[in-house]
Amino acid sequence: MSFMVNRVLIIGLGLIGGSLAKALKKKQFANVIVGYDRNSDDVQTGLDLSIIDEGSHHLADAVKVADIIVLAVPVKATEAVLFDLKPYLQAHTVITDVGSTKSNVIAAAQNVFGSIPCNFIPGHPIAGSEKSGVASADDTLFAKHKVILTPLPESDKSATSLIARMWQCTGAEVLQMDIERHDEVLAATSHLPHLLAFSLVDTLAKEQDSTEIFRYAAGGFRDFTRIAASDPTMWHDVCLANRQQILSQIDNFTDGLAVLREAIVKGDSQSMLGVFTRAKSAREHFSKMLSGTAYSQPHHNSQVTFFVRSAASLQGRIRVPGDKSMSHRAVMIGALAEGVTHLSGFLESEDSLATVQAFRDMGVVIEGPHQGRVKIYGVGLHGLYQPPGPLYLGNSGTSMRLLSGLLAGQSFDTELLGDESLSNRPMERVAEPLRKMGASISTSKNGGAPVSIKGHQKLFAIDYEMPVASAQVKSGLLLAGLYAKGETRIRQGAITRDHTERMLKNFGVELSTVNGVISMASGQTLKATNLDIPADISSAAFFIVAAAINPGSDLVIEQVGVNPSRSGILDIMKLMGADISLNNSTTHNGEPVADVHVRYSPLNGIVIPEKLVSVAIDEFPVILVAAAAANGVTCLTGVGELRYKESDRIEAMQQGLLRMGIDVVVKGDDIFITGGELRGASISSYDDHRITMAFAIAGTIAKEEVMIEACSHVATSFPEFVEVAQKAGIRIHKEKANVSS
């Protein structure tokens, strides 16, 4: 069936009908936009304001020649209008409506036609205003708003796409839903809030001193009750039309309010804060989702480009954000502890916030983060609740691998989801040993996310020899080990970061590491503590290299975590000839911390010792930039693991450095770089935060400008990278790219 849109007839020329007519006329969706209303004054206003091309005073005449009929009358009037137009309806005419409820519109059509015509496509624009009437018509009302179509299984597909096309022409986003789901979702998200606003204003208005109350009502009251100015007749109709769904939402809300009331009666701060922090974070989560900036959204929706020009030198003192690995672990272990844990120096990045959100979803009350401070109300080893849906972990491999272990020991099922990059990273390396412990865990066909974990499994401790050096796998097994019967033993070939071991000890867990073998008995209780998280050496690494390769630089990076299982970058850079010293050395919660002082000094190519690979694994992108700036050849061998990070980092670095004129040879998992002069280039970030930042540092010594595309992933570990880099003297700026989603 094909449709030539000649005439669109809008019945009911009020706010919605008038706005649709105006938008369709402006976009020339049809040859003629015709308006009909029971009130002829409205038709005249529509003509006077050029909202419609033609006005009709005879429904029959207008219906006979219409290609599309839009019912924009109150839902209660639907049946009467359909009855009036039925005798004149042509076979090819497509009918749609705009009613706020859908079950009753379908019932009306059923009553009039006996069965639902295949050309009847119900719809609902999720846009409106407290105003009504044609004089308020606004042709931008639907732009960037959603319109839900609720076609039936028997509906004609081309009729559905014609109506979808009509709404898209107004700038709306068109979705489809089934009728029951529509009425359920709208009862919760639109009908209940309107009723609460009406009820609150009505309740306060009945108070004796209501004039006084309203006089002092602040912005919050005004914002919350704005919708109480909506059309009473329309809302009366909506309440009757969607009675069951609205009643069930009112009951839900009443139960929630009763819980809050009880908490206030008892002075139960934890429950109150629980409600408020969960609501606050859920609200922020929704806002971010809607604006496309959350970790739950693909980052390319809000893409930025970095531009870097050669730096004069890096000077002064800077601070980089808190350690990412420790931030994740502190939230996880704090949540499992008994009592309240206070964190400072927490990294507020997309990745660590994904972990915070996951624990909030499992019922843990977490206040903050606010300027790096977080307060976690621990629930004990067995106090987590089943989350309401899958846990979305964005780009964070640490969250997914560690949580796989932690959740294997719970009494509920969970599913872990990630973004596209995380979904392609190997999860079997943690799933496989967890199964040996008795966990029931499955991964996708390619061994990645979604990861599904069944609850109620009895875990028993294993003695496990790690085939791959991975701190995440080790940590996942230790967290599962807290729930396993017996003593968990993990034998590691190469040293990997040991923050989990140190942090568990901070929370009172007895655990030993002897000759690379970690042993931990189960059945231990974790006790809340206070932790000061040092600056992340992986973020400091970019500035360590930048200062080392830019002549005249003299830079101090304050209070960096220099745990020997992480400080391989310092050893490698020193072997290359860098001038690095550590000052103000101290220990925070068992973690060594120091100011890292770097001065420029010419670098030489080296063979990077194999034993330093696992303790500098995340820093290789920027170490390879140092190699590009050094005299001679640098060899880095046996780093196949780099292919499984947020991107294939061997490929990403090779391609980028080649574009900048550097000689890079890759043989299997070995890389050989001959230092030289870097030239300007346009570089792909491979959607990888560390690749992006590494090339920003390469840009500081390039002859021409370096442009790095798709840089928003930097927020996964170092949201203020550009600002900190500018402070240190790097000539970098970012620009928003116009990328459509």
In the complex, what is the shortest distance from the CB of residue 94 to ligand NAP, in angstroms, rounded to a whole number?
A: 18
Distance CA 520, CA 482 (A): 8
Looking at 35, 46, 55, 99, which residue binds ligand NAP (CB under 6 A)? 99
* Choice between 136 and 631, CB closer to ligand NAP: 136
Number of residues that bind ligand NAP (CB under 6 A): 28
In the complex, what is the shortest distance from the CB of residue 137 to ligand NAP, in angstroms, rounded to a whole number?
A: 9
Looking at 33, 37, 108, 149, which residue binds ligand NAP (CB under 6 A)? 37
Task: Spell out the residues 6+ positions from residue 206 whose beta carbon is closer than 8 angstroms to its own.
Answer: none
The CB density around residue 364, as the number of other CB atoms within 10 Å, is: 24
In the complex, what is the shortest distance from the CB of residue 10 to ligand NAP, in angstroms, rounded to a whole number?
A: 10
Give the active site residue among 37, 351, 618, 688.
618
In the complex, what is the shortest distance from the CB of residue 65 to ligand NAP, in angstroms, rounded to a whole number?
A: 18
- Binding of residue 100 to ligand NAP (CB under 6 A): yes
- Among the candidate windows 70-78, 447-455, 587-595, 708-716, which touches ligand NAP by CB under 6 A? 70-78
* Choice between 133 and 577, CB closer to ligand NAP: 133
* Choice between 11 and 376, CB closer to ligand NAP: 11
In the complex, what is the shortest distance from the CB of residue 77 to ligand NAP, in angstroms, rounded to a whole number?
A: 4
Distance CA 59, CA 81 (A): 9
- Binding of residue 38 to ligand NAP (CB under 6 A): yes
* Choice between 227 and 379, CB closer to ligand NAP: 227
- Among the candidate windows 38-46, 292-300, 304-312, 635-643, which touches ligand NAP by CB under 6 A? 38-46
Task: Spell out the residues 6+ positions from residue 80 whose beta carbon is closer than 8 angstroms to its own.
Answer: none
Distance CA 740, CA 737 (A): 9
Residues in 79-98 at the binding interface with ligand NAP, rule: CB under 6 A: 80-81, 98
Radius of gyration (Cα) for the chain, nearest Å?
31
- Binding of residue 73 to ligand NAP (CB under 6 A): yes
- Binding of residue 172 to ligand NAP (CB under 6 A): no
DSSP-assigned letters across all residues of 657-686: HHHTT-EEEEETTEEEEE------EEEE-T
Binding mask 227-256 for ligand NAP (x = CB under 6 A): ----x--x----------------------
* Choice between 99 and 438, CB closer to ligand NAP: 99
Residues in 5-34 at the binding interface with ligand NAP, rule: CB under 6 A: 11-17
Q: Which residue is nearest to ligand NAP (CB)?
A: 14
In the complex, what is the shortest distance from the CB of residue 196 to ligand NAP, in angstroms, rounded to a whole number?
A: 16
In the complex, what is the shortest distance from the CB of residue 164 to ligand NAP, in angstroms, rounded to a whole number?
A: 17
* Choice between 55 and 99, CB closer to ligand NAP: 99
Q: Report the Cα 579 to chain-centroid distance in Å.
A: 40
The strand pair at 414-417 and 391-392 is best described as parallel
Residues in 121-160 at the binding interface with ligand NAP, rule: CB under 6 A: 125, 128-129, 132-133
Q: For this structure, is 251 an active site residue?
A: no
* Choice between 16 and 366, CB closer to ligand NAP: 16
Looking at 6, 31, 39, 583, which residue binds ligand NAP (CB under 6 A)? 39
The alpha carbon torsion through 526, 528, 531, 536 (nearest 10 deg) reads 50
In the complex, what is the shortest distance from the CB of residue 73 to ligand NAP, in angstroms, rounded to a whole number?
A: 4
| Listed residue (562, 570, 563, 626) closest to 598, CA to CA | 570
Distance CA 52, CA 418 (A): 48
Distance CA 417, CA 425 (A): 12
Mapping DSSP to helix (H, G, I), strand (E, B) and coil, where does residue 395 land? Answer: coil
By the 8 A CB rule, do 142 and 98 touch?
Answer: no
In the complex, what is the shortest distance from the CB of residue 656 to ligand NAP, in angstroms, rounded to a whole number?
A: 50
By the 8 A CB rule, do 152 and 60 touch?
Answer: no
* Choice between 11 and 697, CB closer to ligand NAP: 11
Distance CA 192, CA 198 (A): 10
Distance CA 433, CA 462 (A): 8
- The strand order across the sheet containing 511-514 reads 463-465, 487-491, 517-521, 511-514
Looking at 7, 42, 329, 418, which residue binds ligand NAP (CB under 6 A)? 42
The strand pair at 123-125 and 146-149 is best described as antiparallel
* Choice between 197 and 461, CB closer to ligand NAP: 197
C-alpha distances in angstroms, 70 versus 7, 122, 483? 11, 10, 61
Distance CA 571, CA 376 (A): 36
| Residues of this chain that bind ligand NAP (CB under 6 A) | 11-17, 37-39, 42, 72-75, 77, 80-81, 98-100, 125, 128-129, 132-133, 231, 234
Residues noted as catalytic: 618
